[in-house]
Chain A
Amino acid sequence: MKKNHLGTIKNIQEINKNVYSIEFSSPTLEKISAGEYVSILCDGLTLRRPFSVANFENNTTTVLFKKRGSGTEYISNLKIGDKIEFSAPLGNTFKIENKKTLLIGAGIGVAPLFYLEKKLEEIGAETFFAAGFLSESDSIKHEFDFVSTDDGSNGNKGSICDYLEQIIKEFKPEKIVSCAPHPVLKFVAQTAQKHKIPCEVAMEKVMACGIGVCRGCVISIKKDGKIQNATVCKDGPVFNGAEVVW
């Protein structure tokens, strides 16, 4: 199966200030798993832009993104019916296991966890979804089990990290999965390790090739007692939190 696809925009909306949800369909992309991502060609730009998948059904992919630079600016201006070229599926996947799973998302990092939550629900796994945002205006709407905002304008006041111990104590997860900015991921992974709970983290880095060849997006991981490079684009974006060299 070839991984370059032509898609049609089915829906695009600004769901909050500078946060967009976009749906596009392609007859050639029949399956994409939770954790995997798509990389969208943006007119006039050298590098495709990678986005985790927030949902996928009937050949239609949903991604959420925050308008931050020229790539997301381009995509945010697309209209229903417009064509896009994209590569998919790229990267590795979350493990779908029937375990009591705590999902920790911060900011736009909640997006891939939506799709994971759906897949976990399909196999009957119990989940607890905790999300952190900067403020109400930055929040993404969803039936979360716990929400915090830095300024307290939505849910509890403070960083999601401030509540992690309490959530672990009450929910007693067998597994933690997180997608969030680097400092939050680091905190979640280290807290999980302290409690000896397996933890998967979805990482982000500027990517060029998307298939592990250019070595532009490497992070350090410790595996078999050895420090080595791993590409976020191909070996990731999902990593064992205990193996990442933070």
Chain B
Amino acid sequence: MVDLSLKIKDFELKNPIITASGTYGYNNEFDTFCEVNKLGAVVTKGITLEPRLGNEGERIFETYGGMINRIGLENVGIHTFLEEKLPVLKKCDINFILNIAGNTVDDYIRLAQIAQENDIKAIELNVSCPNVKCGCIEFGVNKQALYELVSVVRKNYENCLIVKLSPNVTSAEDIATSVQSAGADAVSAINTVRGMGVKLDFINGGFKKTTVSGGLSGKAIKPVALSFIDRISKVIDIPIIAIGGICTLADVLEFFSVGAKAVQIGTANFTHPDIAEKLINDLEKFMLENNFSTIKELQKKLMEA
């Protein structure tokens, strides 16, 4: 038997395979593809205080090795989440992390308080969504603003506090260090990379141009994520959850080798909706066949490589 479990602060995960915010819904929506309660955790779609309709116009653009999205945080809002989505998570015994996003510091405080009141075991602060006009990413790219935000959320939330980092910054190390000093229990990285898709159609002697600007995700960003995590793992001690183009067991092991303790699967859920469960099985099989009894042991070996 191998033990895939791990703990981030007091938050227990059966295994290090987590599904990323925005790609997996609120609860058991993927149950026709995966045994959702086998996952380490599901990170919910980003939740705001009030419901949001998101952006107008085209929201998706497929690119080489990935896709660009500009959804704009469409979500049902925290109250509907608590009334309609949370009961399903509990009933299906799905381990989850609540992803929260705000426009102001007060929004984040209120959301953290609500999470605490409802004894939600882990939250992920979305301070890096590139697709909303105000708030969010403004915190994620400014180390002082981020330090203050994380500190005040920390005061209002006792359970596992994860901060999701943006790659669209000048110094990954400074941002990660600020988040650690402000009291976060873990970081997840990276959020999407700012990108743009252009489509040109040549019609009747003229060009018709369509553009989609938003966040790039998928295989294409894996090297960006590896580099980011490699750099921050040298300056912080809190656990790092890797995100960025992870599709295969080899990807998972590569991220462990640069310091990640768990991984999130995002865009790959669209390509292979059963991938998350498959990765758990692949990881377990690899450990069995190669005599690793715990994840910690495997990660130690990979870090020494």
Which chain A residues have a beta carbon within 8 Å of chain B's beta carbons? 1-4, 41, 45-48, 85, 87, 206-218, 228-229
Contact = CB atoms under 8 A, between A and B. Distances in A.
A41 B271 contact: yes
Given A214-B22, A218-B54, A47 B62 contact: yes
Given A4-B273, A4-B274, A47-B271, A214 B71 contact: yes
B208 to A, nearest CB: 15
A218 B59 contact: yes
Interface stretch (B27-35, B87-95, B288-296): B27-35
Contacts of A213: 23-26, 29-30, 45
Contacts of B269: 209
Given A41-B271, A215-B71, A229-B54, A46 B32 contact: no
B270 A215 contact: no
A207 B59 CA distance: 9
Contacts of B22: 214
A46 B58 contact: no
17 contacts: A3-B273, A4-B33, A4-B274, A46-B66, A46-B218, A46-B219, A47-B270, A206-B58, A207-B60, A208-B60, A209-B269, A210-B270, A211-B30, A215-B74, A217-B59, A218-B59, A228-B53
A46 B62 contact: yes
Contacts of A46: 62-63, 65-67, 218-219, 267, 270-271
Interface string B266-281: 0101111110000000
B32 A3 contact: yes
Nearest to A47: B62
Interface of B: 22-26, 29-30, 32-33, 45, 53-54, 58-63, 65-67, 69, 71, 74, 218-219, 267, 269-274
- Which has the most chain B C-beta neighbours within 10 Å: A46, A47, A209, A210? A46
A214 B214 CA distance: 14
Contacts of A41: 271-272
Nearest to A216: B60
Contacts of B30: 211, 213
B264 to A, nearest CB: 15
A213 B74 CA distance: 10
A229 B53 contact: yes
A48 B270 contact: yes
A209 B219 CA distance: 16
Contacts of A209: 23, 269-270, 273
Given A213-B30, A216-B71, 19 more contacts: A3-B32, A3-B273, A4-B33, A41-B272, A46-B66, A47-B67, A208-B60, A211-B25, A212-B25, A213-B26, A213-B45, A214-B22, A214-B69, A214-B71, A214-B270, A215-B59, A216-B60, A216-B69, A218-B74
A2 B32 contact: yes
B280 to A, nearest CB: 16
Contacts of A216: 59-60, 69, 71
